[in-house]
Structure 1
Amino acid sequence: MRIPIIGSWNYFDIDQRLAIAFYVLVVIGLIGAFANKAGLIKLAGWGGIILVLITLAGIYFKAHDSFSFLHFKKLINFGAGMVKLKWGWYVIAAGVFILITVRKPKVVLATEVVEVK
């Protein structure tokens, strides 16, 4: 995330607890993928969505706090509005939405044998 005057923030600069919780959810999702547990993957996906929403709210409040040295509300809102999310945030959001679409694989039993001539 790029913020004018302040510089760039990554996940750990916003809140370390949120970043660690998100990475724990990523590990839980990976364990679920390797163990073929769709429920565990969905749990990690829903938890990731909640953490992304909390993080976006944290970005909003931290950006407003960073520009609180300005005395005029319009300038504070203008400065906080200049915050630009980098491409990685969109990848994170897309990834957690993909995780909640995981389903258990269906087993298909073939009862007929088709001969090919």
Structure 2
Amino acid sequence: MKIQGVVGAALMAVGGMCPLVHLPIIGNWNYFDLDVSIATIFYLVVLVAFAASFMERSRLMRICGWLGVTLVLVTLAGVYFKSHDAFSFIHFKKAINFAASVVKYKWGWFVILAGALALITVRSPKKVFPPANAVSV
């Protein structure tokens, strides 16, 4: 079992439940409040990362870390474009930007990225070769 992989996957799982976006009057939203389908994909990646850490599959853990970063970037872009699109009925660009600026990003993104970084930096175990003068029987 790779402890670094377990910690990274756990940080990603906890980060998905932390506040990611704050909307006035509505409150804080986590991954499931933003989009259920992306949250489901995100937690499938987290489960694969957990399984890979118990099976000691370093490459699969790194792939899960990169997938986590990719999902975070896609979600951040989606939140940005959705917040600007929600106020597109306003015909003044500055008013649209002001209205979209009420959507605040919260600290949960950093927890997810810390977990993904832990998964990305997992090292493969060193292969131990027998000494050159050893005799195999």
TM bracket (short chain) = 0.7 to 0.9
| 1:40 equivalent in structure 2 | 60
State the 1:38 CA deviation.
0.2
Which consecutive unaligned segments of at least 5 residues does structure 1 have? Answer: 112-117
After alignment, is 74-83 or 13-22 more displaced?
A: 74-83
CA distance in 1, matches of 2:80, 2:62: 27
- Residues 60 and 54 of structure 1: is their aligned pair in 2 closer, same or farther, counting only changes over 3 Å? same
Which gives a bigger RCO, structure 1 or 2 (Cα 8 Å, sep 6+)? 2
Which amino acid letter does the alignment assign opposite residue 68 of structure 1?
A: S
Which consecutive unaligned segments of at least 5 residues does structure 2 have? Answer: 1-20, 132-137
Aligned match of 1:53 in 70, 73, 90? 73
State the 1:9 CA deviation.
2.4
CA distance in 1, matches of 2:55, 2:44: 16
Q: CA RMSD in A?
A: 2.1
Which amino acid letter does the alignment assign opposite residue 23 of structure 2?
A: I
Task: Note if 1:78 corresponds to 2:83.
Answer: no
| 2:34 equivalent in structure 1 | 14
Aligned match of 1:25 in 25, 45, 55? 45
State the 1:40 CA deviation.
1.1
Task: Note if 1:100 corresponds to 2:120.
Answer: yes
State the aligned residue count.
111
CA distance in 1, matches of 2:93, 2:28: 23
If the length of structure 2 is used for normalisation, what is the TM-score? 0.70
- Residues 86 and 3 of structure 1: is their aligned pair in 2 closer, same or farther, counting only changes over 3 Å? same
Q: Deviations over 1:29-77 (max 9, x none)?
A: 0000011110110111111111111001011011112333434221111
Secondary structure, in 3 states, of the residue corresponding to 2:105?
A: coil
| 1:115 equivalent in structure 2 | none
- Residues 9 and 66 of structure 1: is their aligned pair in 2 closer, same or farther, counting only changes over 3 Å? farther
Q: Rg larger in 1 or in 2?
A: 1
After alignment, is 67-76 or 84-93 more displaced?
A: 67-76
